[in-house]
Structure formats: structure tokens, C-alpha cells
């Protein structure tokens, strides 16, 4: 089988790696979105930010690695669960019709088994955490389970995704401090706004198909005001992060450390082409680099506090 006939979805990034897998395993790899690592990066970064801002990025480098493994496994599990719930909707959207469950390449029972295996990896990571962090991580299960249904009941499923995809910040802070602090809530709030912004960029790809399938999204809700909406969410994120950094170290270095992130998000808003799905995908993917910029800001402030 060649790369040209394998039914990858349009935003697959690791096609060559997937093509080297045995044909029987390939659909499971795709079902967990391992061919699209951007989601794992975006799930990972808020946890790494919290550890860095709390001043423990160096001495708890092992914890950051555990968070990376957890992000890969639980993002994969979330994608499998999402596709189980959305398999009928996915068949009606051109970009997702080739997904393994929607296309029938994996049975529903096999998908549930794969989900269980990924959750076991997540359990391994959970066992590395202290009691406060483990309890915080377990508290995320309810909002995670509810997320796939949000696109059916609200025009703003991206807001719910923000709550879920930013949760690692809460876990990361608890893992190194055993409790929460005001700076964490500002960091978490900023992450929520950031997620809403970048997932609105992502949703620009599917506006027409979503309208036909009856799927709701922030991109559809904002319509022609999408650019202004994305800018507003990014601005809210930056303001929250500025407060978080200032609470850790009330000096100019916090504002200066955030400047690269400010410039990157400004570039996204100014450069994104709202009517070009390929460009929207490119801008969305650039947020893995944005996450690195924010990590460096948190590392700078947390290490010098």
C-alpha cells in the first residue's frame, strides 16, 4: 500500500512514520492522532508552564517528562473517545470521513479496547503524582467526557475545550507545591483563552462542512468577526498571563519575558487568512512554538523569583 492510497485525513503530519507500521496497526495509530502530534504539544504545555512558573522546572525535570508521556497518552485517549462519540458526525464532514472509526477500518469494540490501553498509560503517569495532583487530574475526567457533546448543545465548544486542555496547569502546580495559588488561576485562565483562540483558528477549516452537518463552533458563531474574536481571546490570554507573571515577580522582567509571546500571537491574528483552510491549519500548528515561548517566559520568571 502506498502513501497516496492510504486514507489519511488532510492534516496528518507523520505520514511516512505511519506508513512504516504494519498495516493492522496503522488505523490505531491514526485513531489516537499519533500522526498529528500538535494536540499532544498543546495538552502538554500548560502543565510545563505551571511547573516552570512555580520555580521547579530544573529540579523536577523528571516530572515534566512524565507530563509529556501523559499528554501523549491522554490526548490519544481523548481522540479515541471523541471519535467513538462522533463517528456518525465524522462520516458527514469531508475532513473527518476518513478517520478509522468513521470509515469502518476499526470496529467499535476495538476502539474501546484501544482507549482502555491508553488510559492504562495515563494511570502509570497518575501514580507518579502526589495526592493533591492526582485528585486534580481525576477531577478532569467529567469535563473531558462531556466535551464531545458540546458541539451539539453550544456554539462555543471551544470554551469547553479550553477548560479541558488547560487542566494540566492545575495538575502541574499541585504536583510541585501540593496546593494552589492566585498566580496559578491567572495562568490557567490565560490558557483557557489561548485555547479558545487557537481552536477558533482550527475551526475555520470546517465552517462549510460544519454548517452542512449541523456542527456548532466558535468560528461559525463569529462569522465575519472571526479575526476580531481571535484577537480578543488572545488579548485576554496575554492579560491573564501578565498578571500571573507579575504575582510571581513584580518586576519588569515578567513583562519583558512575555513579549515574544505577544509578538507571536499578533502575527497569528494579522497573518491568518480566514478563507484559506491550509493557512488556518498552519497558524493553528504554530501554537506549539507559542507554547515554547510561554514556557520560556514562565521559566525566566519562576527561576528568578
C-alpha closest to that of 189 among 230, 236, 141: 236
Task: Determine the length of the chain.
Answer: 305
CA distance 114 to 120: 10
**Stretches in the chain below the pLDDT threshold 50:** 1-5
Q: What is the pLDDT of residues 201-236, one digit of tens each?
A: 998 887 876 776 677 888 888 988 999 999 999 999
Which CATH number does 15-304 carry? 1.10.357.140
Question: Are 265 and 240 in contact, with CB atoms under 8 Å apart?
Answer: no
Q: What is the pLDDT of residues 284-297, one digit of tens each?
A: 999 999 999 999 99
Instruction: Could you list the beta-strand ranges (E) of the chain.
Output: none
pLDDT for res 4:
40
Note the pTM of the prediction, 2 decimals: 0.89
Handedness of CA 194, 199, 202, 207 (dihedral sign): negative
Domain ranges of the chain: 15-304
Amino acid at each position: 500500500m502506498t502513501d497516496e492510497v492510504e486514507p489519511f485525513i488532510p492534516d496528518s503530519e507523520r505520514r511516512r512514520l505511519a506508513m512504516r507500521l504494519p498495516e493492522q496497526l496503522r488505523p490505531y495509530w491514526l485513531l489516537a492522532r499519533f500522526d498529528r502530534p500538535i494536540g499532544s504539544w498543546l495538552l502538554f504545555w500548560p502543565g510545563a508552564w505551571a511547573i516552570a512558573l512555580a520555580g521547579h522546572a530544573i529540579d523536577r525535570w523528571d516530572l515534566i517528562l512524565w507530563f509529556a508521556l501523559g499528554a501523549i497518552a491522554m490526548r490519544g485517549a481523548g481522540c479515541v473517545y471523541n471519535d467513538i462519540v462522533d463517528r456518525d458526525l465524522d462520516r458527514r464532514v469531508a475532513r473527518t470521513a476518513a478517520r478509522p472509526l468513521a470509515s469502518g477500518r476499526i470496529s467499535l469494540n476495538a476502539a474501546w479496547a484501544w482507549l482502555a490501553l491508553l488510559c492504562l498509560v495515563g494511570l502509570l503517569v497518575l501514580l507518579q503524582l502526589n495526592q493533591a495532583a492526582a485528585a486534580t487530574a481525576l477531577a478532569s475526567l467529567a469535563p473531558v467526557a462531556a466535551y464531545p457533546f458540546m458541539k451539539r448543545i453550544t456554539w462555543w465548544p471551544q470554551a469547553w475545550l479550553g477548560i479541558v486542555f488547560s487542566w494540566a496547569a492545575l495538575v502541574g502546580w499541585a504536583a510541585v507545591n501540593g496546593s494552589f495559588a492566585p498566580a496559578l488561576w491567572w495562568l490557567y485562565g490565560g490558557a483557557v483563552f489561548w485555547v479558545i483562540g487557537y481552536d477558533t483558528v482550527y475551526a475555520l477549516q470546517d465552517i462549510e462542512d460544519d454548517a452542512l452537518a449541523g456542527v456548532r463552533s466558535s468560528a461559525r458563531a463569529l462569522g465575519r468577526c472571526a479575526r476580531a474574536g481571535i484577537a480578543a481571546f488572545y488579548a485576554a490570554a496575554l492579560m491573564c498571563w501578565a498578571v500571573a507573571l507579575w504575582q510571581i515577580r513584580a518586576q519588569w522582567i515578567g513583562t519583558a519575558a512575555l513579549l515574544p509571546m505577544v509578538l507571536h500571537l499578533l502575527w497569528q491574528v494579522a497573518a491568518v487568512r480566514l478563507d484559506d483552510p491550509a493557512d488556518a491549519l498552519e497558524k493553528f500548528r504554530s501554537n506549539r512554538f507559542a507554547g515554547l515561548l510561554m514556557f520560556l517566559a514562565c521559566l525566566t520568571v519562576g527561576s528568578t523569583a
